[in-house]
Every structure is written in structure tokens, then in C-alpha cells.
Amino acid sequence: MSAAQPLFTTIITIGDELLYGQVIDTNSAWMARLLNQSGILVKRRVAVADRWDDIWQALTEAPQQGQLVLITGGLGPTADDITKPLLCNYFGGKMVVHQPTLDHVKNIFENILKRPMIERNAKQAEVPDVCTVLMNQKGTAPGMWFEKDGVVYVSLPGVPMEMQWLMENEVMPRLLTHFKTGHVVHKTLITAGVGESFLAEKIKDFEASLPSDVKLAYLPNHGMVRLRLSAWGMDKAALENQLETLFQGLQVAVGEYLVAKADLPMEKIVGQLLLERNQTLATAESCTGGFMAHLLSKHPGSSAFFIGSVVSYSNRIKESELGVSHQDAITVGVVSEPVVRQMAEGIRQKFSTDYAIAVSGIMGPGGATPEKPVGTVWMAVSGPAGTQAQCIHLRFDRAKNIEWTALQAMNYLRQYIVEKS
């Protein structure tokens, strides 16, 4: 690999709401993934409030990290948005009207919003005269490109859709012309059924043999561990080759714990298995309340295998819609093996699918009994090879319990499909 250096970036996100914790910053992760695809590495992410001194300090520190600084947020039309005047001051310019942006803003109000434009909106078209304006086709606040002492600074609105459009259409093409960026390659696999430290023990010889410029990371979540190999270089083909060879070694090293050779969410792994087999799936959900259906349907193309769901949040729906025995519901309870089996078989028959998943459990904080503490979950899978059920015990909060239940149930279906079809 080349001895050259990757292009390192600082991402600065601006907004009081990030510091109060009222908004989760998803922009930085999205930007990092996009930059990675073009070989640009994020060295540091900084979030500061809409406060002049804090933003200023973050700007002065950023060039230490590399030649690119990406800034989001603080470009709105209200008084708490101070990024634009600050940047004008920082780069020593004065504010001027950018006529194409003014025309664009006028057009948005006249033809799309169909509301009169007010002075505040026209202000969106003012920019520092020391920047290159990046036209924002998705909103009123333009992006701005500054250069100073060999460092590029790009300011973008914080609205995710507008930031994303500008990154893809205006920023990335310019960056790839301006810098020689090289390539980042990641290879990720997913393991299940083994803890992080045992996995590390199992693959320690492989890990010790890795070249120093290839990094191995352990990413545990939902009872599974993802392993990721990463490297950067100028020669993409050579890098791909090197990583592919190492990746095959990693697959051998993890052995029987391998679940998938790509970094896919579990619902996509299941979806691919079903698509390959031209088979269909429905879910009957009690404690997950529709979350499995949401995961399955949020990906484009899922209608080819996902038929639908009955969310039987109320127990009477389990009986009326899924054919659960009233007797079982009141004697062994709805969080039980017979009930999830009936739910799975009921939805499979009702929706005429090849497979069905059913879950019923106690997600907390309420609902526990002495025999069934919070985190008790029964799940069943029904398919051409019959119905099977298992009980798991989770120990998280409600949100995490819902997430884990959904992913464990889909993994249970994955195992069923792989082993029995």
C-alpha cells in the first residue's frame, strides 16, 4: 500500500439541542459513511452549542486534524442561528446577496410553499463574499465552501435531507477534484452464539498475523458480534485483494460461529434467504408491537417476501385473529410455549405464507409475575418443516428488550431456514 496519507476530516456539528441531548446526531454518522466510500477518514467529531466562542474555538482547532473541515447546523432563519455571520467574520468577508439563491428562495415560496416570502427568508440568500456558494436544491439555506491556508471548510445546513443532498451533489464531486483521497475498504462478517472475549481468544492467531495497517474491530450488539477489517490505501484493487485474502482467513478463523459474510442487518439476511427461495413471511407480534414488521418493511423490495403482520397487542386479538386457545391464555398465560406456537401457526395459515414468526413476552417495566420476570420472551417459528419454539431471557430496558426480541426471533427463523430447507 502507498506511503501517502489519507485525507483526514473534522466534522463540527452545531446546535444547542445536541448538547442538551434533545436530538441524536445522525448527520455525522451519515457523512462519515459517505466520506469513507471515497477514502476520506473522519479523525474527529465535535459538537458545540450555538455559542460564538465555542464554534470559533472548534474552527481554530480543526486544521490540526487534517485538511478538511465539515460543518453542519446553525444556518436557519431564526435568531439562534449564528453560524453564517460567524463564518463571514472568521474568514474575513462581508455579507452580500447571492442572486441565484435569492431567485431560488423566491421560487420556493411562490411555487412550492405558495406563501408570501418575508424579509427573514430573503436573508437566507445572503452569503459571505469569500465563499463559493453551493446551491441547495432541497431548501433555502445554501452550502458554503471556504479555503484558508490549504484547508477546505464546508458549511452545510443541519436538516438531514438538505445536508445529504448537498454532500452527494455538490461537496463530494468538488472534494474528489480538489484532493487525492485514496480508498478505504471495510470487510465485515457477523457471528452469533459466542461472546466477544471467547471469539477474541479463538481468533487470536489470526489477529496477531494481521499487517499493522489493517485494523480488526469487534462490534458486539443484540447477542451477536460483528468483526470488521479496515484499511486505507491509494491503490483500490490492491487493497481489495489484500483485504479479501485476509477476510477469507477470518472466515476460517471464526468457524462455526459465522452467520453472514457482509455487514447486513438481520432482517436483510432473512429477506435474502426468502428471496432466493421465492418464499414468504408473516409475523404475529405481541410484545414487539409491530417492530419486526417495521424492520422487514423498511427496506425497498421487501414486499416480494413480506406479506404482513397481525399486531395482537391486546390479548383478545390473539384469540379472535390468531386462533389462540382461550383456555391456554387463561391457564398457562399468553407468554407461553402453546400460545406462541398457536400465534405462529395462526398467522401462517391466515396469511398463507411459507413461514411465520410469533413473539410474546414481558418487555417491562410492568407486567412481571414471580414465574415470569421482565425479559421473559417466548418465540415460535412455523414453516414447511413444522413449528418450533424457544424461551429467552433478556435483562435490558423496554426499548432494548423490544429490539433484542425482534432480532433474536429473526435469527431463530434464519437458523430454521438454513438448517431445515
3-state secondary structure of 326: helix
User: What does the buried/exposed string (b/e) look like for 341-350 if buried means 16 or more CB atoms within 10 Å of the residue's CB?
Assistant: bbbbbbbbeb
- Least gap, CB of 347 to its own copies (angstroms): 11
315 vs 325 by CB, closer to its own copies: 315
131 vs 322 by CB, closer to its own copies: 322
3-state secondary structure of 176: helix
321 vs 337 by CB, closer to its own copies: 321
30 vs 90 by CB, closer to its own copies: 30
- Least gap, CB of 31 to its own copies (angstroms): 7
- Least gap, CB of 234 to its own copies (angstroms): 19
**Cβ atoms of residues 243 and 184 within 8 Å:** no
C-alpha cell at 193: 452464539
- Least gap, CB of 130 to its own copies (angstroms): 26
- Least gap, CB of 72 to its own copies (angstroms): 14
C-alpha cell at 249: 482467513
C-alpha cell at 350: 391466515
CA distance 325 to 321: 11
Which ranges of 137-265 would DSSP assign to H, the alpha helix?
160-166, 172-178, 196-202, 204-208, 236-254
52 vs 386 by CB, closer to its own copies: 52
C-alpha cell at 336: 407461553
**Cβ atoms of residues 234 and 165 within 8 Å:** no
Smallest CA-to-CA distance from 210 within 183, 246, 234, 236 is with 246
- Least gap, CB of 194 to its own copies (angstroms): 10
CA distance 84 to 278: 54
Q: Is 147 exposed, middle or buried (0-12, 13-18, 19+ CB in 10 A)?
A: middle
Q: Is 37 exposed, middle or buried (0-12, 13-18, 19+ CB in 10 A)?
A: exposed
- Least gap, CB of 359 to its own copies (angstroms): 12
- Least gap, CB of 93 to its own copies (angstroms): 24
- Least gap, CB of 220 to its own copies (angstroms): 8
**Cβ atoms of residues 356 and 348 within 8 Å:** yes
3 vs 79 by CB, closer to its own copies: 79
CA distance 103 to 112: 13
For helices 52-61 and 83-90, give the axis angle rounded to 10 degrees: 50
16 vs 147 by CB, closer to its own copies: 16
- Least gap, CB of 225 to its own copies (angstroms): 10
179 vs 351 by CB, closer to its own copies: 351
Residue 225, CA distances (Å) to 254, 266, 271, 415 in order: 11, 12, 20, 16
- Least gap, CB of 132 to its own copies (angstroms): 25
74 vs 383 by CB, closer to its own copies: 74
Report the C-alpha dihedral over residues 377, 378, 382, 388, rounded to 10 degrees: 120
20 vs 177 by CB, closer to its own copies: 20
31 vs 269 by CB, closer to its own copies: 31
